[in-house]
Amino acid sequence: MELIVKSMPAEVQAQALAWKREGLTVGLVPTMGYLHEGHASLIRRAASECDRVIVSVFVNPTQFGPNEDLESYPRDLEHDLKLARECGAHLVFTPTPETMYLPGASTWVTVEGLTRELCGKSRPIHFRGVATVVCKLINIAQPDRAYFGEKDAQQLAVIRRMTADLNMPVQIVGCPIVREADGLAKSSRNTYLNEKERQAALVLSRSLERGREMLEKGETDVQKVLDAISGTIAAEPMARIDYVQAVDADSIEPVKTLAGTVLFAIAVYIGKTRLIDNFYWKV
For helices 153-165 and 126-141, angle between their N-to-C axes, nearest 10 degrees: 60
Of 12, 28, 55, 134, the one binding ligand PAF (CB under 6 A) is 134
What is the distance between the alpha carbons of residues 10 and 130, in angstroms, rounded to a whole number?
A: 20
Backbone torsions φ then ψ of 185, nearest 5 degrees? -65, 135
Residue 232 vs residues 55, 64, 92: alpha-carbon distances, Å: 37, 29, 41
For 45-71, b where at least 16 C-beta lie within 10 A, e where not — what string?
bbbeebebbbbbbbbbebbbeeeeeee
What is the distance between the alpha carbons of residues 40 and 55, in angstroms, rounded to a whole number?
A: 10
What is the distance between the alpha carbons of residues 251 and 205, in angstroms, rounded to a whole number?
A: 24
Backbone torsion region of residue 218, taken as left when φ is above 0, otherwise alpha when ψ lies between -120 and 50, otherwise beta: left
Q: Report the residue number, 162 or 200, with the smaller CB distance to ligand PAF.
A: 162
By the rule CB under 6 A, 173 interacts with ligand PAF = no
Q: Report the residue number, 127 or 281, with the smaller CB distance to ligand PAF.
A: 127
- Among the listed residues 36, 39, 79, 90, the single catalytic one is 39
By the rule CB under 6 A, 140 interacts with ligand PAF = no
Of 30, 38, 88, 95, the one binding ligand PAF (CB under 6 A) is 30
- Min CB(32)–ligand PAF separation in Å: 4
| Binding segment toward ligand PAF, per CB under 6 A, in 24-32, 84-92, 240-248, 261-269 | 24-32
Residue 212 vs residues 35, 180, 233: alpha-carbon distances, Å: 29, 19, 15
Of 12, 16, 32, 173, the one binding ligand PAF (CB under 6 A) is 32
By the rule CB under 6 A, 190 interacts with ligand PAF = no
The strand pairing partners of 57, in sequence order, are 31
- Min CB(148)–ligand PAF separation in Å: 6
Q: Report the residue number, 151 or 225, with the smaller CB distance to ligand PAF.
A: 151
| Binding segment toward ligand PAF, per CB under 6 A, in 26-34, 166-174, 254-262, 269-277 | 26-34
| Binding segment toward ligand PAF, per CB under 6 A, in 14-22, 27-35, 47-55, 102-110 | 27-35
Sheet holding 273-282, edge to edge: 239-248, 261-270, 273-282
Determine whether 90 is an active site residue. Answer: no
| Binding segment toward ligand PAF, per CB under 6 A, in 103-111, 126-134, 252-260, 264-272 | 126-134
Which secondary structure element, helix H or strand E, spans residue 43, and what is its range?
helix 37-49
Of 31, 115, 190, 232, the one binding ligand PAF (CB under 6 A) is 31
Torsion angle, CA of 234/72/57/252, rounded to 10 degrees? 30
Q: Report the residue number, 172 or 249, with the smaller CB distance to ligand PAF.
A: 172
- Mark 34-73 with x for binding to ligand PAF (rule: CB under 6 A) and - for no binding: --------------------------x--x----------
What is the distance between the alpha carbons of residues 68 and 126, in angstroms, rounded to a whole number?
A: 10
Q: Locate all alpha helices (DSSP H) within 142-200, ordered by sequence.
A: 153-165, 195-200
By CB under 6 A, name the binding residues for ligand PAF.
30-32, 60, 63, 130, 133-134, 152, 155
Q: Provide the annotated active-site residues.
A: 39
